[in-house]
Amino acid sequence: SVWAEHMSEDCRRRFYKNWYKCKKKAFTKASKKWQDELGRKSIEKDFKKMIRYCSVVRVIAHTQMKLLKQRQKKAHIMEIQVNGGTIEDKVNWAREHLEKPIPIDSVFAQDEMIDCIGVTKGKGYKGVTSRWHTKKLPRKTHKGLRKAACIGAWHPSRVSFTVARAGQKGYHHRTEMNKKIYRIGQGIHTKDGKVIKNNASTEYDLSEKSITPMGGFPHYGEVNNDFVMIKGCCMGPKKRVITLRKSLRTHTKRAALEK
């Protein structure tokens, strides 16, 4: 693997538990390689080895936490596979994009179907009625009615894993398939010296306006960067990170052709 010369502070924070206490030495040796002749030669050697021997090329990307007004400063880091073209094309593409941001519109397009991966809202320790939606017992039941009445036969003398029990509800990893992209909007940007905030007008509502409602999104704030608007809902509370990926399933339904 080859690391970029300049690693942002957001990314390096992820490698420490306590950033303010640590010596902040992560990737200092890797970045020095780019500065002298010997180091650059070894980097070139690594790239040539990748082209010759590798069958899969992946890039390590991280989020830009400084663009958000959030408490968290640690970036989320992810390994993403590069597909298409020869191995040399893949390595060259990854090399060209070192230290560069990858905008959302270079990956996804409007009216495309995508998958959302994330962690759901946590609900804590819940009973069997809330957790598994088992039927409540009649009102006159002794010792409580929000229970599973029978948890299995005498023999086998074990409780099967298929029986509904109380326990943790929510905070589960989930993948939701086939979400339609309704809009990929540009963030607030400057063009010809003017600040352009108009990224939410439609054919039916031509008034110039930003995607952020009055007073901001509840529990989130203002959206000043590029955004993706998808059909329906997605898992997790506000501010939780969500992984978007190209749809894996083939689209057979007419809903996929919706504009």
- What is the mean predicted confidence (pLDDT) over 239-243? 94
d(CA 106, CA 135): 49
**Domains in the chain, number:** 2
d(CA 28, CA 181): 40
Sign of the dihedral through C-alpha 177, 183, 184, 187: negative
The string of DSSP codes covering 23-47 is ---TTHHHHHTTTSHHHHHHHHHHH
Q: Is residue 252 part of a domain?
A: no
Residue-wise pLDDT for 188-225, tens only, equals 888 888 888 888 888 888 888 899 999 999 999 999 99
Residues 91 and 139 placed together within one structural domain of the fold: no
Q: Is residue 92 part of a domain?
A: yes
Residue-wise pLDDT for 177-188, tens only, equals 999 999 999 888
Which of 170, 194, 224 terminates a domain? The answer is 170
Residues 145 and 52 placed together within one structural domain of the fold: no
Predicted TM-score (pTM) above 0.75: yes
Range of the domain at 131: 124-170
Q: Which amino acid is at 125?
A: Y
Burial label, 87 (beta-carbon count in 10 A; 0-12, 13-18, 19+)? middle
Residue-wise pLDDT for 91-127, tens only, equals 999 999 999 999 999 999 999 999 999 999 999 999 9
Give percent of the chain with pLDDT exceeding 70: 100
Residues 146 and 56 placed together within one structural domain of the fold: no
Residue-wise pLDDT for 52-80, tens only, equals 999 999 999 999 999 988 889 999 999 99
Q: Is 18 within 8 Å of 78 (Cβ atoms)?
A: no
Q: Is residue 49 part of a domain?
A: yes
CATH number of the domain that residue 140 is part of: 4.10.960.10
Report the pLDDT value the prediction gives residue 188, as an integer from 0 to 100.
Answer: 83
Q: Is residue 136 part of a domain?
A: yes
Q: Map 54-116 to HEC letters.
A: CCCEEEEEECCHHHCCCCCCCCCEEEEEECCCCHHHHHHHHHHCCCCCCCHHHCCCCCCEEEE
Report the pLDDT value the prediction gives residue 104, as an integer from 0 to 100.
Answer: 92
* Reported confidence tier of residue 253, pLDDT bands at 50, 70, 90: confident
Residues 4 and 92 placed together within one structural domain of the fold: yes
Residues 98 and 13 placed together within one structural domain of the fold: yes
Report the pLDDT value the prediction gives residue 252, as an integer from 0 to 100.
Answer: 87
Q: Is residue 61 part of a domain?
A: yes
Higher pLDDT, 1 or 174: 174
Q: Is 209 within 8 Å of 200 (Cβ atoms)?
A: yes
Residues 43 and 82 placed together within one structural domain of the fold: yes
Report the pLDDT value the prediction gives residue 255, as an integer from 0 to 100.
Answer: 83
- What is the mean predicted confidence (pLDDT) over 220-231? 93
Residues 15 and 48 placed together within one structural domain of the fold: yes
Report the pLDDT value the prediction gives residue 193, as an integer from 0 to 100.
Answer: 83
CATH number of the domain that residue 9 is part of: 3.30.1430.10
Q: Is 230 within 8 Å of 244 (Cβ atoms)?
A: no
Residues 64 and 158 placed together within one structural domain of the fold: no
